[in-house]
């Protein structure tokens, strides 16, 4: 699991900021900021919030609670049927490629076939 200091460093670099840039944003010295990335000091909750906002990630991501930079957005399609952003994107891709309409012709049998094929593909990639 990522430690806060490691994740903070990775996110900062990916976002293209220097330690000096973020230190200036937080109104602290560059060495004080550097201590966060070294794990020598921990920022206040307000500082974590500001870092997350500046780096465009969730605080939960910085703290290592979740492994996606942002909390997945969920869409309720019908009562109790909820899709995340990634799942909704996948369904849209399947629809664009006419896979949904093909699966819909005999959904139970076709989804079972798709599951078996997917399991086969996963076994092949694990070899």
Which pLDDT tens digit goes with each residue over 38-60? Answer: 999 999 999 999 999 999 999 99
Instruction: Tokens 């990335």: give the residue.
Output: 37
What is the full DSSP assignment across 50-76? Answer: HHHHHHTS-HHHHTTS-SSSSPPPEEE
pLDDT at 67 (0 to 100): 85
Band of the pLDDT at 68, cuts 50, 70, 90? confident
Find the helix or strand (DSSP H, E) in which 78 lies. strand 74-78
């Amino acid at each position: 699991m990522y430690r806060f200091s490691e994740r903070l460093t990775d996110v900062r670099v990916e976002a293209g900021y220097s330690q000096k840039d973020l230190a200036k944003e937080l109104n602290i010295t560059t060495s004080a900021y550097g201590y966060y990335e070294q794990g020598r000091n921990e920022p206040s909750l307000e500082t974590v919030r500001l870092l997350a906002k500046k780096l465009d990630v969730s605080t939960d991501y910085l703290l290592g609670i979740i492994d996606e930079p942002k909390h997945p957005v969920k869409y309720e399609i019908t009562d109790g049927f909820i899709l995340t952003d990634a799942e909704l994107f996948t369904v849209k891709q399947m629809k664009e490629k006419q896979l949904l309409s093909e699966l819909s012709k005999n959904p139970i049998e076709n989804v079972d076939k798709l599951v078996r094929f997917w399991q086969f593909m996963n076994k092949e990639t694990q070899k």
